[in-house]
Amino acid sequence: METLHSKKLTKPTTTSASQVFLDVAEVKEDVIILKNGFFRAVLAVSAINFDLKSTDEQEAIVNQYQNFLNSLDFPIQIIVSSRKININNYLKFIDKKEKQQDNELLRMQVSEYKNFIRQLVSVSNIMDKNFYVVVPFAQVENQNKSLLGNLFAGANSKKGIIEKRENFETCKNQLYQRVDHITASLSGIGVRITPLKTQELIELLYNSYNPNLFIKDELGDVSQIELK
């Protein structure tokens, strides 16, 4: 039976290295590889406002989601991530636009908006909520040897390198067959699904394990943010 987490890997040890407590061995080619050799893909999923839908639309969404769950023959993990956003860069962006504004009336409006945002932030937290679906795959045909062992066995020989690559590609292809199934099923509900790339996976893991640093980090250039 596949599981999303390995209980053996989460047992405390006496070592002080924090990496020992993490299940992740490496991230490559848009795939997370765990220490037990299992694979994970992560899908970013958009949200829909269920309450604003009509009764017929709500029933259709519920039925479609029920059909999606019934079609699964493997476990998935649904993650809701809520993070406090540092909007200092956004305020700097507004301040820059205010100084560049030639129209006095518009400049006053921008200034009022900037002050409103600052006051709003001072009395409440600005949160960013993201939704993810974690898709697992585990090679269960060979119970005596983990996939991680297959991936790294014989790495010094040409044959070993070829076999390692073939094992990785085989498992990745089967993992992404599941990704395609989930993408097609959830698209019928009206949400958008995007598989995370390698860099996005690394950032997600880093931010998840370092929430305090994530809060302190500033947003990038606001003008470069792509609205979804």
Could you report the average pLDDT of every consecutive run of 10 residues in the chain (228 residues)?
50 52 87 91 93 93 94 93 82 91 91 90 81 89 48 58 80 94 91 92 85 53 37
DSSP class of residue 164?
A: H
Q: Are residues 189 and 206 in the same domain?
A: yes
pLDDT computed for residue 175 by the predictor: 94
Degrees to nearest 5, angle at CA 224 with 223 and 226: 105
Q: Are residues 90 and 61 in the same domain?
A: no
Does residue 224 belong to any structural domain of this protein?
A: no
One-letter amino acid of 51 = D
Does residue 161 belong to any structural domain of this protein?
A: yes
pLDDT computed for residue 145 by the predictor: 46
Q: Are residues 162 and 98 in the same domain?
A: no
Q: Are residues 137 and 111 in the same domain?
A: no
| Residue after which a domain boundary falls, among 125, 149, 182 | 125
pLDDT computed for residue 123 by the predictor: 80
Please give the C-alpha separations between residue 79 and each of 44, 134, 144, 208, in angstroms, as whole numbers.
Answer: 10, 8, 32, 11
- Using alpha carbons, select from 49, 190, 73, 213 the residue that is nearest to residue 135: 73
Could you list the residue range(s) of the whole structural domain that residue 97 is in?
A: 86-125
- Using alpha carbons, select from 74, 26, 5, 12 the residue that is nearest to residue 205: 26
Does residue 2 belong to any structural domain of this protein?
A: no
Q: Are residues 12 and 73 in the same domain?
A: yes
Torsion of CA 3, 29, 202, 86, to 10 degrees: -120
pLDDT computed for residue 62 by the predictor: 94
Q: Are residues 175 and 134 in the same domain?
A: yes
pLDDT computed for residue 56 by the predictor: 94
Q: How many helices (H) and strands (E) does the chain have?
A: 7, 6
pLDDT computed for residue 226 by the predictor: 39
One-letter amino acid of 123 = V
pLDDT computed for residue 163 by the predictor: 73
Hey, CA dihedral for 28, 29, 35, 37, is it positive or negative? negative
Q: Are residues 54 and 159 in the same domain?
A: yes
pLDDT computed for residue 156 by the predictor: 57
Q: Are residues 121 and 134 in the same domain?
A: no
pLDDT computed for residue 221 by the predictor: 41
pLDDT computed for residue 52 by the predictor: 92
Total domains present in the chain: 2
Does residue 26 belong to any structural domain of this protein?
A: yes
pLDDT computed for residue 168 by the predictor: 87
Q: Are residues 141 and 72 in the same domain?
A: yes
